[in-house]
């Protein structure tokens, strides 16, 4: 059984040496890969001197880096961690065990149940993590604790079937929704989180990247649960229409005349749009079910190919 530690990096010269050395100590059997994403501070040189295999991704963005990692590396277990030394390397063997013993397709290091809120001094980051967690648990009927953690482990099936769409920090949200949508096994393990050391700066823009994450949740909710998404829109449109229609109807019963005819025309158009949205949801849910069936068949084919190759 082979394990690969994957570390996406952009200007992490202050911390990358410690991260690589910590994982070499905790997981001496693993191959450590650092993917440098256009760093200008010598991150790649330091990582190579620390003993990591260094590769490069020139398209900017964490999503682009992970796309290359997942395509390039072949292993039985993949440990992914940020290069900023905010996660203790001791989480690696814990998540690796969940993967190699077959209990999870994706194992997640849960920061929010341990030290995250006491260590992270950025209030909006804390608020954003909680908001994203509540949104996903509500929309996808899950009970996950930490959605945006950068400490994760995956099996080969997950890595080779996961289509990376995001380019930036919304990647972790996309991974979680992918796993929920396709009924992947998810395991969460509490891990220790520590704030960045002095002189190390976060690349995450609270508002810009936070908006991207929320946008990603909305788009993936539409794509993965189209019937629920379009039914909600239809319900809102019908509710708004009724708010305007009922007074017109009451006045008609009293006077026998329609006093707000233009409003009635607009209401009728909105109701037509609501009905169209509802049937769009039905149609897209049928297509989504077919996609789910095709995906499962593809996984079965991949599993057979790997068995024959062993």
| Average of per-residue pLDDT values in the chain | 88
Q: Which is higher by pLDDT, 57 or 210? A: 57
pLDDT category of residue 257 using cuts at 50, 70 and 90:
confident
Cβ proximity of 30 and 5 under 8 Å: yes
Section 95-109 average pLDDT: 96
Q: How far apart (Å, rounded) are the C-alpha atoms in residues 12 and 16?
A: 6
pLDDT category of residue 128 using cuts at 50, 70 and 90:
confident
- Closest Cα to residue 132, out of 96, 174, 82, 195? 174
Q: How far apart (Å, rounded) are the C-alpha atoms in residues 76 and 126?
A: 33
Which string of DSSP letters, residue by residue, matches 182-221? TT--EEEEE--B-PPPTT------HHHHHHHHHHHHHHHH
- Closest Cα to residue 176, out of 124, 123, 122, 213? 213
Is the per-residue pLDDT at 272 higher than 60?
A: yes
Q: How far apart (Å, rounded) are the C-alpha atoms in residues 8 and 6?
A: 7
Three-state secondary-structure class, residue 304: helix
pLDDT category of residue 158 using cuts at 50, 70 and 90:
very high
42-51, 244-253, 301-310, range with greatest mean pLDDT:
42-51
pLDDT at 205 (0 to 100): 62
CA separation, residue 132 to residues 39, 57, 137 (Å): 29, 28, 8
Q: Which CATH architecture has domain 3-224?
A: Alpha-Beta Complex (3.90)
**Other Cβ atoms within 10 Å of 264 Cβ, number:** 16
What are φ and ψ of residue 200, in 5° steps?
-100, 125
| List of E strands, the chain | 3-9, 31-36, 53-56, 77-80, 106-110, 152-155, 186-190
Section 136-146 average pLDDT: 92
pLDDT at 26 (0 to 100): 96
Is the per-residue pLDDT at 302 higher than 90?
A: no
pLDDT in tens, 148-157: 899 999 999 9
User: How many residues comprise the chain?
Assistant: 310
Q: Which is higher by pLDDT, 203 or 233? A: 233
pLDDT in tens, 162-216: 999 888 778 999 999 999 999 999 999 999 888 766 665 665 666 676 787 888 8
Q: How far apart (Å, rounded) are the C-alpha atoms in residues 14 and 6?
A: 18
pLDDT category of residue 271 using cuts at 50, 70 and 90:
very high
Q: How far apart (Å, rounded) are the C-alpha atoms in residues 205 and 128?
A: 12
Residue reference for tokens 């905790």: 26
Please state which of the ranges 82-86, 184-188, 218-222, 258-262 shows the lowest mean pLDDT: 258-262
pLDDT at 296 (0 to 100): 86
pLDDT in tens, 7-36: 999 999 999 999 999 999 999 999 999 999
Is the per-residue pLDDT at 276 higher than 80?
A: yes
Structure tokens at 52: 């990591």
Please state which of the ranges 59-68, 117-126, 197-206, 277-286 shows the lowest mean pLDDT: 117-126
Q: How far apart (Å, rounded) are the C-alpha atoms in residues 99 and 83?
A: 22
Is the per-residue pLDDT at 301 higher than 70?
A: yes
Is the per-residue pLDDT at 124 higher than 60?
A: no
Residue 163 DSSP one-character state: -
pLDDT category of residue 309 using cuts at 50, 70 and 90:
low
Question: With pLDDT > 70 as the criterion, what percentage of the chain qualifies?
Answer: 91
Is the per-residue pLDDT at 96 higher than 90?
A: yes
């Amino acid at each position: 059984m082979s394990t690969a530690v994957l570390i996406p990096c952009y200007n992490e010269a202050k911390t990358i040496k410690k991260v690589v050395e910590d994982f070499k100590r905790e997981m001496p059997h693993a191959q450590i890969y650092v993917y440098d994403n256009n760093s200008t501070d010598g991150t790649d040189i330091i990582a190579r001197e620390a003993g990591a295999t260094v590769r490069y991704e020139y398209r900017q963005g964490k999503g682009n880096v992970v796309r290359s990692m997942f395509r390039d590396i072949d292993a039985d277990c993949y440990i992914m961690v940020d290069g900023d030394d905010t996660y203790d390397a001791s989480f690696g063997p814990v998540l690796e065990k969940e993967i190699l013993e077959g209990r999870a397709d994706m194992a997640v290091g849960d920061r929010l149940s341990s030290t995250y809120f006491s260590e992270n001094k950025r209030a909006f980051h804390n608020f954003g993590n909680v908001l994203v967690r509540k949104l996903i648990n509500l929309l996808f009927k899950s009970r996950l604790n930490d959605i945006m953690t950068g400490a994760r482990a995956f099996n080969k099936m997950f890595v080779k079937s996961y289509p990376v769409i995001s380019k930036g920090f919304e990647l972790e949200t996309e991974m979680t929704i992918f796993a929920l949508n396709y009924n992947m096994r998810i395991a969460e393990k509490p891990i220790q989180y520590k704030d960045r050391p002095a002189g190390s700066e976060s690349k995450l823009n609270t508002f810009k990247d936070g908006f991207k994450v929320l946008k990603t949740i909305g788009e993936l909710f539409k794509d993965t649960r189209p019937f629920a998404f379009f039914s909600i829109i239809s319900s809102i449109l019908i509710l708004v229409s009724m708010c305007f229609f009922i007074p017109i109807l009451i006045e008609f019963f009293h006077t026998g005349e329609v006093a707000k005819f233009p409003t009635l025309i607009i209401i009728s158009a909105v109701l037509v749009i609501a009905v169209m949205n509802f049937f769009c949801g039905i149609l897209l849910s049928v297509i989504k079910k077919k996609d789910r069936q095709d995906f499962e068949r593809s996984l079965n084919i991949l599993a057979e190919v790997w068995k024959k190759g062993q």
